[in-house]
Amino acid sequence: MRIRHLSLAMVTFLSLCASSRAVTVTYDGFASTAGLTLNASAATVVTGDGTVLRLSPAAANRNGSAFSSEVINAADFSTYFRFRITNPGGTVFDCNTVVGADGLAFVVQAVSNSIGGIGQGIGYAGIGTSVISEWDTWCNAANNDPSSNHVGININGNPNHGAGSPFTAVVAPDFDDGEIWHGWVDYDGTTLEVRTNKTGSRPAAPTVSRVIDVPTTLGGVDEAYVGFTSATGADWGNHDLIYWEYRSEFAPIPEPSSVILAGLGGLALMLARRRRTLR
């Protein structure tokens, strides 16, 4: 069943799918953050992109996160988002050639809707029982980063990619070039795939992938808090989330959803309905 467009001002979208647990949540802008828990430096800011969710600002040693206020199915899922990183600054050191840090990450975790470490931790370091897809803008030799601009898949709050930097991919140009970037993360129950580009057209092949048992990694649960983290260290940048769509089933998203449901409590309403369904 399609839901018709009811309001241009709407920021949260809810669509109940065939399965009782399959839902789609969309934030088309962040004038409302209903259903999300914001931590540390995360805040809404009005920019040329509208009301965005600034996960971390262009200032040193900050971190921020935004997670679903309640757990949602993550045994299989698809998500798509748009972001922009502006005003990179700081000094050049470690294995870098330009300023600006540290990036952002899409995180699925069963700990709490909170936050991890600053700097190279990108806001997720130390969050155990977690699966992380990172967009990293700073090269940390200690983390076996392959470059100062890469995507990677990490687990259990550990930003170290390991020898040889498996499950990473170098991307060009830089994520903090001030332009809009697009990200897709899909999990079919076996393989986690991450895609990214600047065109907005979903790539046929993943940028990086990893075979992983997400529920086992999460400590044997199918439901988790889902959301984003970011951080700065000695270098910085504004890390702005513009749009986010999450589907609690494997249903790859070719483009942003065009249907919107009016109201400010979409995610909270979805969770309430799901609880009633499970009674």
Q: Residue 272's domain is classified under what CATH number?
A: 2.60.120.200
**pLDDT mean over 112-134:** 95
**pLDDT mean over 199-210:** 97
Q: Which domain holds residue 153?
A: 12-278
Range scoring the smallest mean pLDDT among 7-21, 22-36, 48-62, 260-274: 7-21
Q: Given a cut of 60, is residue 20 above it in pLDDT?
A: no
Cβ within 8 Å of residue 119, ≥6 positions away: 61, 101, 102, 231, 232, 233, 234
Q: Is the residue at 2 inside a domain?
A: no
Q: Is the residue at 6 inside a domain?
A: no
Tens of pLDDT, residue by residue over 124-152, are: 999 999 999 999 999 999 999 999 999 99
Tens of pLDDT, residue by residue over 219-242, are: 999 999 999 999 999 999 999 999
Q: Given a cut of 50, is residue 278 above it in pLDDT?
A: no
Distance CA 266, CA 219 (A): 28
Q: Is the residue at 3 inside a domain?
A: no
Q: Which pLDDT score, from 0 to 100, does residue 21 have?
A: 61
Q: Is the residue at 125 inside a domain?
A: yes
Q: How many CB atoms lie within 10 A of CB 234?
A: 15
Q: Which pLDDT score, from 0 to 100, does residue 206 have?
A: 98
Identify which has the larger pLDDT, 123 or 267: 123
Q: Is the residue at 25 inside a domain?
A: yes
Domain total in the chain: 1
Q: Tell me the pLDDT of the chain averaged across its residues.
A: 88
Distance CA 218, CA 72 (A): 13
Q: How many CB atoms lie within 10 A of CB 213?
A: 12
Q: Which pLDDT score, from 0 to 100, does residue 114 have?
A: 87
Q: Is the residue at 7 inside a domain?
A: no
Q: Is the residue at 88 inside a domain?
A: yes
Percent of the chain topping pLDDT 90? 81
